[in-house]
Amino acid sequence: MHRREVLKLFALGSTLTAMPTELLAAFREIHTGLTAIPALRVFTPHQDATVIAMAELIIPATDTPGAKAVRVNEFIDHIVADWYSDEDRAQFLTGLAEVDTRTQALFQANFVDASPAQQTEILRSLGDGMAEATAVIANGPRGYRAAQPEPESNFYFMFRGLTLTGYFTSDAGFSLQLHEEIIPGHFDGCIPSDSPAPTKGA
């Protein structure tokens, strides 16, 4: 799968059931590779704190862990470091900085220093803008796409998709929220796809 196709999956928040097995395995490997002591690859401490605050608002802790507890911020940091081109990475970081700019204009504070209610208002406005752009296309003449944002180039599309993907490919997100095994069933990469499945005990 090409990098651009993967970015579209992130942006569209594709369900895990529609995700190729090898991609799910790659995301699981990122979670497994997270060390006890966080080692950020791209984000500054301030950017990381902003990502944590935004992700936790999207998936807050309830009776199950939230985005912060499963280290979605570190998952996103790894994706931005290893899966993004220089151009996409710069665009993502610009979008993250603009969250502070928007919050400062309304509340004279960076996003992480705003109150929970103010932070929620910022994310709601980002979501509303995304929904309005999509509605323009849905209500426009057939074939009209001029106002539709490219999913992989829209910051909030991407951030929301990364957050959902990072959460639901974690142990807690997959097993506690989706009530699934991380990688269902048995996979033997040495067996041709048209060969019969091995019997139990083989």
Lowest mean pLDDT among 14-23, 62-71, 72-81, 192-201: 192-201
Distance (Å, whole) CA 11 – CA 33: 24
User: Which of the pair, 131 or 13, is modelled with greater confidence?
Assistant: 131
Task: Share the mean pLDDT of the chain.
Answer: 77
Distance (Å, whole) CA 23 – CA 28: 9
Q: What is the pLDDT of residue 200?
A: 42
User: Which of the pair, 19 or 148, is modelled with greater confidence?
Assistant: 19
Q: What is the pLDDT of residue 132?
A: 67
Note whether 55 and 68 are within 8 A (CB). yes
Q: For the residues 50-66, what does the mean pLDDT come to? A: 94
Give the residue carrying structure tokens 């220089």.
86
Q: Compute how many other C-beta atoms are within 10 angstroms of the C-beta atom of residue 51.
A: 28
State pLDDT tens for residues 25-37: 888 888 888 877 7
State pLDDT tens for residues 76-100: 999 999 988 899 899 999 999 999 9
- Nearest CA to 31 out of 92, 84, 73 is that of 73
Percent over 90 (pLDDT), the chain: 42
Note whether 157 and 151 are within 8 A (CB). yes
Distance (Å, whole) CA 103 – CA 14: 29
What tokens were used for 122?
Answer: 């910022």
Residue 148 scores a pLDDT above 50:
no
Residue 151 scores a pLDDT above 70:
no
